[in-house]
Chain A
Amino acid sequence: MMERVIAILPELNQAFLETLLMVSIALAVAILIGLPFGILLFVTDRGLFLENVLVKRVAGLVINLIRSVPFVILLVFLLPFTQFLLNTTIGPLAASVSLSVAAIPFYARIVESSARDIDKGVIEAAIAVGASPWMIIKSIILPEVKPGLITGLTITAISLIGYSAMAGTIGGGGIGDLAIRYGYYRYDNTIMFTTVIVLIVLVQVVQYLGDLVARVVSKR
């Protein structure tokens, strides 16, 4: 049994790196696009300093549209887009396109809801000293929401690890792909268990690191 695992080790290693790559790209996109999106949702809300019903409605609608499509369907639905973007639909890079699209609204909602927990009075006090909207976002909202951003990133990363397994099944590569190929098509339970253990360890490590960082940055 051990030799089965050792024999598969190079492949396992590659699958692991592919998963890491997919999830990292999607996380980066979540931070780059999902975070500003989430802040936008928050500051355009009723009673806030950039209140804008139209922007809020449209942004909220787009996010809900994407979020209401199950990931497997989104994956298939985005194949033409991936093809157009990368000229291929195979490989971890291609898989990270649909993962990113799923990660953006997921993270945006988390950002929005943690921003809602900020004491409105703190924002009001900033308005009262004459701070500009940009300063309030940069120097009040972002620092105040930092622990929430990190916790949210942990949750997003763990969801993405799950999604990446699905993406793997349609040619994305990664650990999910490995599990399906050996465990499902070849009934190789050893490989199957190994992948499950790798995933469990990965999720635990992500959770642990996320909690640690969130605790360090929290000043409450």
Chain B
Amino acid sequence: MIKLENISKKYNSKGKQIIGVDDVTLTVEAGEVFGIVGYSGAGKSTLLRCINLLEKPTSGKVFVDGVNLHELSPKDLRKARQSIGMIFQGFHLVSSKTVFENVAFALRAAGADKKQIKLRVEELLALVGLEDRRDQYPAQLSGGQKQRVSIARALANQPKILLCDEATSALDPGTTKSILSLLKKINRELGLTIVVITHEMEVVKEICSRCAVMQDGKVVEQGSTYDIFSDPANPLTVSFIQTVLNFDLPKELLEEINGKLVRLQFKGSIAAEAVVSDMLQAFPIRGNILHGKVEYIQSKPLGIFIMELNGNEAEVNKAIAYLRDKVSKVEVLDDGTRNRHLA
């Protein structure tokens, strides 16, 4: 659906060259929700804006639905943009227009007539749950409601793609959840391809089937969200994952531990408790679960347990080897010597 080939964007600012995006090649498949994560300044917005040519890349090609956007005339580019909706962190609604007029504007831009506009806007406001707000001005709405209006505007011309630039970053956690589930619904029911930019891994976990991690204008890692969460390769990805899968154990607890500290990761539907209890049956050691958590990433479970293993060193090592065989990942966080530290 979207193909970016060797996209670079450089800015000249006071004689200095700033690299916004550095040679990014990406493909987003039709119907998927694709996430782009990275810290502020990584080049995410710049890259996203290249998809509808709000930003003209310094080099590289953008294909949307098989069409090379650079080859379009200004008029055809405007037409193409009508099939690429976009929403923003700051909503960007027209303050002098009502909710109805804000959404209607997108339809007028596409040349719809008055009657069509009225029907379509009402349909859209029902979709985003704002039927009763049609005559209010943006200043009278909450952040979540404003984002709903901007989603309605973005969907007005029945686009195939929706680009979201930090669409939930200005919202509180509860509102974020409701906007994310609206995006999920749009993806599922209307079959829209969605590209989501965020600095919150929580958002990726919630709605993206695949994602890319960006740093200094480059994509440093990409893959299915589940794989990224279960087997992150890049240190930056690891630090992002930890914002969701965070296991800080209390210092006092760590000081009392004198066995080996291991972190077990279970993928999919493996019964974690069963594996652990089998292991304790098979080896003459004591085990103590300090932390356990199952995250659902794209509704597939990813279980993480932190255990203390006590006993004869050789038996403990054998137990760890046994575990390595059964579960997707075993990490020895601390081998029983002093001065432990957990990431």
Residue in A131, A143, A146, A217 whose CB lies within 8 Å of B109: A131
- CB of B105 within 8 A of CB of A126, answer yes
Q: Does A112 reach chain B (CB closer than 8 Å)?
A: no
- Inter-chain CA distance A124–B80, complex, in Å, is 15
Q: Does B81 reach chain A (CB closer than 8 Å)?
A: yes
Complex contacts, B99 vs chain A, CB 8 Å: none
- CB of B92 within 8 A of CB of A129, answer no
- CB of A220 within 8 A of CB of B84, answer no
Report A176 CB to chain B, min CB distance, Å: 38
Q: Does A125 reach chain B (CB closer than 8 Å)?
A: yes
Residue in A124, A127, A130, A219 whose CB lies within 8 Å of B110: A130
Contact with A along B229-262 (1 / 0, CB 8 A): 0000000000000000000000000000000000
- Inter-chain CA distance A129–B112, complex, in Å, is 13
Complex contacts, A125 vs chain B, CB 8 Å: 86, 88, 92-93, 150, 153
B159 and chain A: residue at smallest CB distance: A129
B75 and chain A: residue at smallest CB distance: A132
Residue in B80, B85, B109, B156 whose CB lies within 8 Å of A135: B109
Q: Does B52 reach chain A (CB closer than 8 Å)?
A: yes
Whether A144 contacts B96 in the complex (CB less than 8 A), given A128-B52, A129-B109, A130-B157, comes out as yes
Report B120 CB to chain A, min CB distance, Å: 13
B150 and chain A: residue at smallest CB distance: A125
Within B147-170, which residues are at the interface with A (CB < 8 Å)? 150, 153-154, 156-157
- CB of A144 within 8 A of CB of B94, answer yes
Complex contacts, A119 vs chain B, CB 8 Å: 90, 92
- Inter-chain CA distance A31–B139, complex, in Å, is 29
Report A34 CB to chain B, min CB distance, Å: 21
Report B323 CB to chain A, min CB distance, Å: 51
- CB of B92 within 8 A of CB of A121, answer yes
- Inter-chain CA distance A90–B185, complex, in Å, is 73
Q: Does A140 reach chain B (CB closer than 8 Å)?
A: yes
Q: Does A209 reach chain B (CB closer than 8 Å)?
A: no
Complex contacts, A146 vs chain B, CB 8 Å: 96
Complex contacts, A131 vs chain B, CB 8 Å: 78, 105-106, 109
- CB of A129 within 8 A of CB of B139, answer no
Within A100-126, which residues are at the interface with B (CB < 8 Å)? 119, 121-122, 124-126
- CB of B94 within 8 A of CB of A129, answer no
Q: Does B265 reach chain A (CB closer than 8 Å)?
A: no
B88 and chain A: residue at smallest CB distance: A121
- CB of B82 within 8 A of CB of A129, answer yes
Contact with B along A143-173 (1 / 0, CB 8 A): 1101000000000000000000000000000
Q: Does A139 reach chain B (CB closer than 8 Å)?
A: yes
Whether A129 contacts B54 in the complex (CB less than 8 A), given A124-B92, A219-B139, comes out as no
Complex contacts, B105 vs chain A, CB 8 Å: 126, 129, 131, 139-140
Q: Does B137 reach chain A (CB closer than 8 Å)?
A: yes
A147 and chain B: residue at smallest CB distance: B96
Complex contacts, A122 vs chain B, CB 8 Å: 92-95
Residue in B54, B84, B106, B154 whose CB lies within 8 Å of A124: B54
Contact with B along A208-219 (1 / 0, CB 8 A): 000000000101
- CB of A219 within 8 A of CB of B92, answer no
A218 and chain B: residue at smallest CB distance: B96
A120 and chain B: residue at smallest CB distance: B92
Q: Does B108 reach chain A (CB closer than 8 Å)?
A: yes
Whether A129 contacts B153 in the complex (CB less than 8 A), given A121-B88, A139-B108, comes out as yes
**Which residues of B are in contact with A by a Cβ distance under 8 Å?**
52, 54, 78-82, 84-86, 88, 90, 92-97, 105-106, 108-110, 137, 139, 150, 153-154, 156-157
Which 8 residue pairs of A and B lie closest in terms of their CB atoms, listed nearest first? A131-B109, A130-B81, A125-B92, A121-B92, A130-B82, A129-B106, A130-B78, A143-B96
Name 11 interchain pairs, CB-CB below 8 A, sorted by A. A125-B92, A126-B94, A128-B84, A129-B81, A129-B105, A129-B110, A129-B154, A130-B82, A131-B109, A143-B96, A144-B94
Contacts A126-B94, A143-B94 known; 11 new A-B pairs at CB < 8 A: A125-B86, A125-B150, A126-B105, A128-B85, A129-B105, A129-B106, A129-B154, A130-B78, A132-B78, A139-B108, A219-B95
